[in-house]
Amino acid sequence: MDTRIIEEKFKSLFGDNYMVYTSPGRVNLIGEHTDYNGGFVFPGAIDKGIYAAINPNGTDKVRAYSADYNEQVEFGMNEDDAPKESWARYIFGVCREMKKRGFEPKGFDTVFVGDVPLGAGMSSSAALESTFANALNEIFNLNIDRFELARIGQSTEHNYCGVKCGIMDQFASVFGKKGHLMRLNCATMEFEYFPFNPEGYKVVLLDTVVKHELASSAYNKRRESCENACAHIKARHPEVNFLSDATMAMLEEVKSEISEEDYKRAVYVIGEKQRVLDVCDALEKGDYETVGDRMFGTHYGMSKEYEVSCEELDFLNDVAKQCGVTGSRVMGGGFGGCTINLVKEELYDGFIATAKKEYLAKFNREPKVYDVVISDGARRIK
């Protein structure tokens, strides 16, 4: 992205001294609804993110301008200084979470802009948190390790933005590495990089432009189902702390003790853990057919077992199958948002044209199309 838009604005508001930082949004190839079940996720940072020009201002105040909203706010860093603007609460929350941990960021001026599509499930909020967490850490020599920067972003969501998210989004934004996906064990926080340069393939997101309102209550209900199934298994197998620790055989033992709904949710989570491991093995062999097969398996599980898909997502998944796409699935929490698709380059143009045409005929609008390039995480760029 051309950062001149924020640099020129910064100069007009605050002067000529500044540094430019960025952090990316993310995609998740596979491993959905597994983070809060102690399982694996498999995200990568993308080439779209938040960009901020920033400089210390010698006061205890933050002066922030959002180029996207064309709004400027000023706030202090005490708990009762919280700004009312939702975008500014992310920056305020990062400052507060640092202070709670005993670090002392000082006042600063900033102008920022983003090119992560909002509402498409690519985590623009995590990109915003990670941009400022990384920038303040470096500018004020706070010496916070990168895992703690991710946790600061997560705590900002929990405590200042009302979202009880897992750690995946902030982790991917901070630790992203160009040309690599990351397998993160959400129970232990151990991770490793896996090369992801699928020659002859493209990764593309198709955005349904739908967000269903039942999402937050439905997420909580599914989480309760998983915790209930896990509790019944743990009563027989004390070593099981998360549902992802369990096997299908353990689940079968308690099938008669839990509801059919809880059973279906658990089938999905335990199956998804294995699909992530299968994809890791396949990537090390360059076997993208298996990667794609497991992606379709995840979509089936999210649609029929976890039941977090919707008509629009299922429709796009069916179109992908008809067009010979290698792999396709709903990405993110569900109930709307995007499908992520692994497509052979020679099929790409036909798939996009068909998806647009058939989606328009069915739902009276076209899906948005986002090509994905796997990129680096939080960093200073100028």
Q: Which residues are catalytic?
A: 169
Strand order in the sheet with 71-75: 71-75, 62-66, 108-114, 43-56, 19-28, 379-380
| CA 154 – CA 58 distance, rounded (Å) | 28
In this structure, what DSSP letter does residue 367 have?
A: P
| CA 93 – CA 79 distance, rounded (Å) | 9
Closest by CA to 175, choosing from 142, 140, 135, 134, is 134
| CA 183 – CA 278 distance, rounded (Å) | 12
Residues 6+ apart with CB under 8 A from 290: 278, 279, 281, 282
Here the tokens at position 215 are 């999402």
Q: Where are the alpha helices (DSSP H) in 86-166?
A: 86-100, 124-139, 146-160
